[in-house]
Amino acid sequence: MCTNFTPTKKSQWVKDKLGVELPPDYPVESYPGFAAPVVVKSHQTRRVACGLAKFGLIPSWAKDEKIARHTYNARSETAAEKPSYRTAWRQRQYGLVLVDNFYEPSYESGRAVRWKIELASGDPFGIACLWDRWTHPASGELVVSFSMLTVNADEHPVMRQFHKLGDEKRTPVIIAPDLHNAWLGAYPANAAEMMTWSHMPELRAESSPRI
């Protein structure tokens, strides 16, 4: 499960690859509840836009924000049926979280050690996500939030080494740049076919303990 990542600040890459501008201000690192840049596409106008969304999806029917503590990652295998995600999935609310890297724990030493995972190329990348809108019942504030989509990574050459012994290995689904538009405009059947790590760019990982 991915709980911590570095949103990209590389505006030129974002403009070149997706044709959008990054929002002006957001945290250097993101955790559940933090804001991060997400790219979405209107299925009516076909316009692509980038804005801030909170990490941890809050479905439109939620009574409060507490559910976001449990919805920052969504299993792609069940997202179409789970109450928290099924509306976003069926309404094609597919997005890309723009990051430089993300972090996972390795337990090879017997304790949790934070490792940084990034593309072997060093480029930023987009992680597949579902997004939704929720209106705060007291303030009326409109909150946009998202959940990263994940797949099994038991056989992935890099991601299989993380998490506790015996736990299923998972990885966020990184969408290759040449598939960005296809993902953002996908229909549910096509989106399901893209929930695999086989098309993901090559990754590298290194120990990155907090100082």
CATH number for position 77? 3.90.1680.10
> Could you tell me which residues are beta bridge partners of residue 48?
41
Percent over 90 (pLDDT), the chain: 86
Q: Into how many domains does the chain fold? A: 1
Q: pLDDT by residue (tens digit) across 172-202?
A: 999 999 999 999 999 999 999 999 999 999 9
- Given a cut of 60, whether residue 49 has pLDDT beyond it is yes
Buried b (16+ CB within 10 A) or exposed e, 79-96: beeeebbeebbeebbbbb
The model's confidence at residue 112, banded by pLDDT at 50, 70 and 90, is confident
Domain that holds residue 47: 4-207
Q: Is the pLDDT of residue 211 over 70?
A: no
Q: Say whether pLDDT at 170 is over 70.
A: yes
Q: Half-sphere exposure of 2 toward its Cβ, with a 13 Å CA cutoff?
A: 34
Query: How far apart, in whole angstroms, are the C-alpha atoms of residue 31 and residue 95?
Result: 18
β partners of residue 30: 5
In tens, the pLDDT along 68-95 reads 999 999 999 999 999 999 999 999 999 9
pLDDT above 70: residue 203:
yes
> With contact defined as beta carbons under 8 Å apart, do 117 and 103 qualify?
yes
Residue 165 clears pLDDT 90, i.e. is over it: no
